[in-house]
Structures are given as structure tokens and as C-alpha cells.
Amino acid sequence: MRRLLLTLGGAAALAVPAAAAAASHQTAFIPNDPLLSHQWYLAQTKAFDFWPQIPALPTVRVAVVDSGLDGGHPEFAHRVLASKSFVGGSPLSDSKGHGTFVAGEIAAAANNGQGIAGIAFPAQLLIAKVVGSDGSIPLTAEANAIRWAADRGARVINLSLAGLRDPLNPRRDSYSSLEAAAIRYAYRKGTLVVAAAGNADQAPRTPWNFAGYPAALPHVLGVSALTIAGDVPSFSNRDVLYDDISAPGSEIFSALPRALTASRPSCPDQGYSNCGSTEFRHAEGTSFSAPMVTAAAALVLAYKPALHPDQVAWILERAATDMTGATGCRACPTGRDRLSGWGRLDVNAALIKATAGPIPRGDTREPDDDAGWEASRALGARGRVLATIDYWDDPVDVYGLHLRRGQRLSVSVSSAEGVSSNLLLWKPGTIRVGDQSPENLRRRVAQSAHSGPVQNIRGYEAPVERPRRRRRRPPRRSRFPVGARLRRRCVPRA
């Protein structure tokens, strides 16, 4: 059985009306945790503004794939559902401190009268330890941890880690098919993956113009950093396509393993970052921006559990505060940009948008972003597909079609007014529709004549080969990849 691929891509111009006004609350909820004043980022992201008091919400499983957790820390009492180490040792010990810091931002007990307040108060933690004793992160450990978390029902996975991406130098680029396959696996399980865009101290130059992996993989929500003033710090990786949203990432305050703060016994706030080493007392990095977005995603899912991962990402992005000179980022132009993505995380606006809508339809065929085994299952002789494409987050959909030799094919794509897309048909055996080499481009067998909301390929006839023998054989089928690609962006901000 051979396959022909149909690729669909376009510039989705979703006509989305402005979000409804926020429900009027007399006062925003303020947790009673005594170290709340150190968490300046809660006010900037409007973490608790949606509720007048802390509500009872269903729990949401959130995985932290990192250096482990101080399992005895009082902030995480009864908060850890499951844990596993993929590098040896106990997952509930954290000699590096990074994982405990990240988990504190997400799920430290809120409104319990001690310490700090995590943003995702309904979160149950899945702790996956992937950082070795030498500080390295084996790719096999990371990939296995992602799959483990997805299998245990994680709705959100936080990856505050990044490998260098350099599309101009393949030798330096750290793309991993193992990591990409694990991300696809998690997405199929209904998990949203949130990842740090990466820090330039790992790159040849500062600032660096490419988000790292896995933030630069399909269906991953990439997060860049902002300063207190709203500027994008030089360490935060820039990227035109993969910086999706930004969140505070300088002078962040959170929990730390008590073993790491014990070296400063005179410090009264044992177990918190102001009692840690300098790197934690003045913590900065996209590693500490991503957990805020992860926590916001968990709140949206607690409020609207039926949402698909791509819908949650869309809500967070389109509810973000556009960063411009007026909001503190002097280098950020109006609209989505390579520095701050769609803008600064706004938890309150995201919950309003999740409640008031409208929200694009969830695409149940995802991920279907390339040919080969990544393509969506074959369509029947006659069929209709309801799908979504988005220039920034999902620019290509690929479907496999079975054709007999000599059979004719007609395909039509209808989109909303203002959407610009392209429809292409590829030969059987195509593996990568994004490969722009002359050899691969010759694998295209048909293409819609022009871009626009309606696309057609009509009357294509599958090639007929001359039989080598005279005896009759049953007709063979070819499977053709069909796909759509977004060409330009035309998405008004709500």
C-alpha cells in the first residue's frame, strides 16, 4: 500500500471578537502567605485577580520534568501524586534546587499562612527527575519522563530546559527526533507541553535569535522572559516563530530545598530562595518564566477541563498583554514579536477568554504536521474533515489518501473569509513536506492555483503503470499525502 499526501496550510485569519468584559469582582483574592510580597510577578501576571476568594476547583495533574523536588518541604505537603527518577537517586531529593524552585512557582500551597503562594492552587504534581548529578540532562531520560508523565494523566508538562537551536549550523543544532517523538506522544494523550525558550548563555552570542529545543518543536508553548520593568532581558532567546508568550523571568522568588538554605542558618526564611546562593537570591532565566505559563494553563484546564491542548495554548497567547513601549518593552513592536511573542502572561484575561470565548475548534487529528507516519490517518473515498490551522502554532496539516491506479481525486478546502491557505498533493513515499530541496519539491504532483479561503485540486488522476505480466492482478492502491500550509498571518488580536 503506497501513500499520497495532501498538505493543507494557510494563514488563518480567525475573526475573533474582543473578549467579554471581566465579571465584576468586588475584590481580587489575595492569599495570606507571609512571603507573598516577594512574589512581585503575581501582580504583573494577575495570577489571582479572577476570583474574589479561592474557589474549589477539580485537581489538574501537572508534571515538572526537572532536577527533582524537596519532598519534605512543607509547601508540597499532599501535593505530589507520583514521582520517578530517570537518572538514579530519589526523585524527592533535589541537590540542584532548580526543580524545587520551578515547582514552587507552580504549586506551592496557597493561602495556608506560610511561605509563598503557587499560582496553580488546584495542581497535583508529577515529579520526574531527569538532571544527573553532573547537571546534565540525558535525552533518553527527558523523553522517557515526558512519556511517563503523559501516561499518568498529566494535562500540562513543564520543561524548564533547553537545547541549543541553530538552523544555520547543523553541527551545532541539538534537534533530537527522540525528544520530538516524546512531545508528539504527550500531545496525542491530551497534554500541553510548556517549555522555556532558552537562555543565551548557552549560545554562541548574546542575545541569541533562535529559541531552543523543545520550545521550537510543534505543539510546544515556548516562553521567553521579561524584567520587572517589562523589557526583554538580553539572556532571553529571541525567535520570530517559537517565542509564543512571555512571563517575568528576573528577580524571581520561590521555594528551595531546605538542604540548600541550611548553609545560611541565620537567614529566617529557610526553604526559600532569599536564603539560597546568589543564583537563587537573584534568580533569572526563561526556566523561571515557563512555570508561570504552566500554572496558568493548569488553572484554565481546572476551570474548563474539556479543552484541547491547542485550545489552551491559543487562549493563553491571545489573552496576553501586548508588550510595547507603553507596557515597558521599548524594543517590542505592536502585535506578536520575536522578543515577547504574543505578550506577557495575563492569567485573569485567560480565564475570562476561556469562559466567554469564542475559542477555535479543537483539532482531534493532531498531531499531523508532516508526511510519513506523522500524517493523519487516511481519508475514505468520500469524506469531510473539520480541522484548524494556525500560522504560528500549527501551520501544516497532512492527510494520507488511498488511491487506486487510474483513480481520480478532487479535493476542496473551505475556510473562513480572510483565511489564506494553500493545498498541495505529494507523491507516495514522501517523508518530509517541509523539505525545500529541489529533489523533494519534485515530489509535488498537484497544487491549488492560488491562495485564499477556498482551495481546489480537481481531477487529479493517479498514475497507471504498465503491467509487467499478462496475468491479471488485483488493483493496487497508492496513498497520497495531502496537506495545507499557512502562508501569511492575518489574525486580529482580541
CATH of the domain at 184: 3.40.50.200
Category of 202 on φ-ψ map: left (φ > 0), alpha (ψ -120 to 50) or beta: alpha
Instruction: Give the range of the structural domain holding residue 107, as residue numbers without chain letter.
Output: 27-352
Position 5 scores a pLDDT of 55
pLDDT tens-digit series, residues 239-259 = 999 999 999 999 999 999 999
Is there a domain that residue 18 lies in? no
In a domain, residue 407? The reply is yes
Is 16 within a domain? no
- In this structure, is residue 140 part of a structural domain? yes
Same domain, yes or no: 237 and 264: yes
Q: Domain boundary residue among 311, 327, 352? A: 352
Q: Is residue 493 part of a domain?
A: no
Q: Which residues of the chain have pLDDT under 70?
A: 1-26, 378-381, 465-494
Residues designated as active site: 66, 98, 287
Claim to verify: residue 184 and residue 202 sit in the same structural domain: yes
pLDDT of residue 314: 97
- Listed residues 311, 328, 352: the one ending a domain: 352
Domain assignment present for residue 131? The answer is: yes
Q: Tell me: do 277 and 160 sit in the same domain.
A: yes
Kindly state the cell numbers that stand for 248: 517575568
- Structural domain tally of the chain? 2
CA–CA separation, 388 and 183 (whole Å): 19
Task: For residues 370 and 336, state if they share a domain.
Answer: no
Please, which residues have CB within 8 angstroms of residue 283's CB and are 6 or more apart in sequence? 101, 251, 252, 253, 254, 273
Residues 333 and 372 in one domain: no
316 with 433, same domain? Answer: no
Decide if 385 is inside a domain: yes
